Amino acid sequence: MWIFIFFLVASHVEQSAARQCLDHAVPEGQRLNVTLDGVSVPIGIASGNWNSVELVSKIFGILVSEVVGYHVVDGLEQGSAEMIYRLSGCPPSMQSINECWKSPRRFHFALETWEDTVTAAWDATFREMGQFAPVNLGSGGYAGYDGMYILERARAESQAHTGMLLTYYSNFNATWFHPETYCAQVQHILAERVLTCSEAVNLLHPEYGQEYLDATGDLGGIEDAGNGSIRLKCWKDRWWVAPACRNNDVDVERCVAVVTSGAGWGLHFMIQQAFWHNMPLAFATAISEQYISINREFQSVLYWWTPDETFVLQKGMPLVFPPHSVSEYKAGIYASAPRRRSLFKWSAAGMDIVADRAYGLASNLNIGESDISNLLLLHAQNLQDDGATEIWDTACQWLKENTNAWKSWVPDQTVCAVGKGLVDLQGNFVMQREQAVNCGVCPPGFASQKEGATRVCSPCEPGFYQNSFRASSCTACELGSIASEPGSETCRPCSLGSFANRTGQSTCHRCGAKETESAQWTTSLEVNSGSDGSSRWIQVQGASSADYCACVQGTFLFEDRCKACTEGANCPGSNQLE
């Protein structure tokens, strides 16, 4: 994808240095590792290699280590897909998904991944990953956007001379306005600073010509490619020129020059926007080293994206188009604004259990649109003042200056996750938040239950049991067994002469009508023994109904009571006199 072509840095891991940012930080010696897949490791944060994700990942890392109290390591990945793969236990630069989850996962969180990365094809990948499939924690509060932006110089000049804001597409309508007066024009940009269309857009995107023609019917914007297909028609093979300024060479030279980069990033929709809104624009793709310098020099209209820091000092603002139209875009009509893209946060599966406060912090992390631009601006200003400012320095400065922004992300110590419950200073389970200082894992016999905004470990009721840690519910005792006490870890079978004919019982029913005769009652079962088909009666514990009730050997059933066997008769315990 376009954003990642800029940087090609190999993936690597960086152990966070023992720097401290915040007062009252959890001391290094008291920080914890997380145990996932059976190994105890620091929390791994998979960052991307562009500034905004690095800044946000560092901010998160400082909070996880200094406020929540875990050891932290950073990884630097090339793009959103790599970041997400690392959370599933995939190795760097893997060739196939079969290489994943062969060793324990070492990366646990990733922030600001572009939503376009996870296309429908990933559903199958996630299914294949099964229990290792990462968890999408949603947006971090700001979105991604790409398209036409305008930088400060051109904007300010237009406003100073005409009072008009060039951030609105309608102020570019060539019938009325002359935006080119305040913007860079085609004639201002040396031909050798931009690529030809044959080596850029028409080579890499031969389909754009047909797509443009189909949408607009504008024959002046395309030409025959010579082999039966069509391509975009470029003036001097460098500039694609919108109808609003393509009358003659003089006209073209005065078009507002919009410079993009890469393989003609954004051209397919920007040329249509110019067509539909009668904007006097011409588009070219800079040779890659020139994209930044041309646009910083002229500070005019360009293709850009946010969040990104490249033009924050030039106060880049997106050109405002009519709101995004899903149906038009589906039909290939790009008159409205491009869609804003979500930027997702991810967690490795299982982190909500093994590091719930770090997980809560990642879930709560919410940086607003203006916060993210201010953060990038802060970093750009720091770099301008002192070329040595590191990402960590800016992240730390932002944290110190914006305590209110992040305080609410840090989960309260007494907001317990599923599987945990409130504990007091001594670690005893308590039912009221006022008495609690922390959360503890619910032991066997207890279930983690919702109590307002938090959870408590409540003992299983009589008749119910729980034999594992971190359970969120108790299980009813099965037929034939009971739990008489609250907080039972197991159920015990009813003893001889008693039964439990319902699940979830706290006492067993006794066989027989009269308690005093209980010694004469048992619970038994007829079993076949021997090849001759003969049977015998054996006594059983854990009887599940009154049908098992029988008089003990030597007695027989008469009028609902067990009577002593009559002399000479045989009473084998089948209730019968034989």
Ligand X SMILES: *[C@@H]1O[C@H](CO)[C@@H](O)[C@H](O)[C@H]1NC(C)=O
Nearer to ligand X, 124 or 546 (CB): 546
Nearest-angstrom CA–CA distance, 564 and 519: 12
Q: How far is CA 520 from CA 73, 145, 509, 513, in A?
A: 70, 83, 15, 12
Nearest-angstrom CA–CA distance, 526 and 519: 20
**DSSP-derived 3-state class of residue 272:** helix
Q: Is 40 in the site for ligand X (CB under 6 A)?
A: yes
Nearer to ligand X, 193 or 205 (CB): 205
Q: Any idea what the Cα angle at residue 464 is, between residues 459 and 467, rounded to 5°?
A: 75
Nearer to ligand X, 102 or 127 (CB): 102
Nearer to ligand X, 71 or 339 (CB): 71
Q: Is 206 in the site for ligand X (CB under 6 A)?
A: yes
**DSSP-derived 3-state class of residue 397:** helix
Q: Is 176 in the site for ligand X (CB under 6 A)?
A: yes
Query: Where in 375-404 is the site for ligand X (CB under 6 A)?
Result: none
Joined together, the tokens standing for residue 238 give 């460098």
Q: Is 173 in the site for ligand X (CB under 6 A)?
A: yes
From the list 33-41, 189-197, 209-217, 428-436, the region that binds ligand X by CB under 6 A is 33-41
Helix (H) or strand (E) holding 350: none
Joined together, the tokens standing for residue 246 give 């393509």
Among 95, 131, 175, 516, binds ligand X (CB under 6 A): 175
Shortest Å distance, C-beta 418 to ligand X: 25
Shortest Å distance, C-beta 427 to ligand X: 20
For residue 483, give the nearest of 509, 465, 456, 503 by alpha carbon.
465
Q: Is 273 in the site for ligand X (CB under 6 A)?
A: no
Nearest-angstrom CA–CA distance, 466 and 275: 68
Q: Is 278 in the site for ligand X (CB under 6 A)?
A: yes
Nearer to ligand X, 276 or 446 (CB): 276
Q: Could you give the maximum distance between any two Cα atoms of the chain, in Å?
A: 130
Nearer to ligand X, 96 or 227 (CB): 227
Query: Where in 67-86 is the site for ligand X (CB under 6 A)?
Result: 71
Nearer to ligand X, 510 or 563 (CB): 510
Nearer to ligand X, 34 or 378 (CB): 34
Among 277, 339, 420, 455, binds ligand X (CB under 6 A): 277
Q: Is 15 in the site for ligand X (CB under 6 A)?
A: no
Beta-bridge mates of residue 453: none
Q: Is 33 in the site for ligand X (CB under 6 A)?
A: yes
Among 178, 433, 470, 509, binds ligand X (CB under 6 A): 509
Nearer to ligand X, 33 or 247 (CB): 33
Nearest-angstrom CA–CA distance, 194 and 259: 8
Q: Is 546 in the site for ligand X (CB under 6 A)?
A: yes
Nearest-angstrom CA–CA distance, 364 and 346: 12
User: Which sign does the torsion angle of CA 67, 34, 390, 289 carry?
Assistant: negative
For residue 212, give the nearest of 274, 168, 286 by alpha carbon.
274
Residues 6+ apart with CB under 8 A from 330: none
Q: How far is CA 267 from CA 30, 191, 358, 497, 574, in A?
A: 53, 19, 41, 85, 91
Joined together, the tokens standing for residue 457 give 């470990």
Nearer to ligand X, 177 or 409 (CB): 177
Shortest Å distance, C-beta 183 to ligand X: 18
String of DSSP letters for 164-181: --TTBGGGG-TTT--GGG
Site string for ligand X, 222-241 (x = CB under 6 A): ---x-xxx------------
Q: Is 320 in the site for ligand X (CB under 6 A)?
A: no
Shortest Å distance, C-beta 358 to ligand X: 14
Helix (H) or strand (E) holding 62: helix 51-63
Q: Is 41 in the site for ligand X (CB under 6 A)?
A: yes
Q: Is 333 in the site for ligand X (CB under 6 A)?
A: no
Nearer to ligand X, 47 or 278 (CB): 278
Q: Is 452 in the site for ligand X (CB under 6 A)?
A: no
Joined together, the tokens standing for residue 235 give 């003036």
Report the b/e string of 419-451 with b at 16+ CB within 10 A.
bbbbbeeeeebbeebeebeebbbbbbbbbbbee
Q: Are 498 and 543 in contact (CB under 8 A)?
A: yes
Shortest Å distance, C-beta 454 to ligand X: 28
Q: Are 419 and 466 in contact (CB under 8 A)?
A: no
- The size of the interface with ligand X (CB under 6 A), counted in residues, is 19
Shortest Å distance, C-beta 416 to ligand X: 24
Shortest Å distance, C-beta 347 to ligand X: 19
Nearer to ligand X, 273 or 373 (CB): 273
Q: Is 501 in the site for ligand X (CB under 6 A)?
A: yes
For residue 16, give the nearest of 63, 48, 58 by alpha carbon.
58
From the list 302-310, 501-509, 530-538, 567-575, the region that binds ligand X by CB under 6 A is 501-509
From the list 39-47, 250-258, 290-298, 370-378, the region that binds ligand X by CB under 6 A is 39-47
From the list 58-66, 168-176, 384-392, 560-568, the region that binds ligand X by CB under 6 A is 168-176
Nearer to ligand X, 236 or 502 (CB): 502
Among 161, 236, 502, 514, binds ligand X (CB under 6 A): 502
Shortest Å distance, C-beta 73 to ligand X: 8
Q: Is the previous residue joined to 444 through a cis bond, with omega within 30 degrees of 0? A: no
Nearest-angstrom CA–CA distance, 104 and 305: 36
As a residue count, the chain comes to 578
Site string for ligand X, 406-445 (x = CB under 6 A): ----------------------------------------
Nearest-angstrom CA–CA distance, 303 and 291: 10
Residues at the contact surface with ligand X, assessed by CB under 6 A: 33, 40-42, 71, 173, 175-176, 206, 225, 227-229, 277-278, 501-502, 509, 546
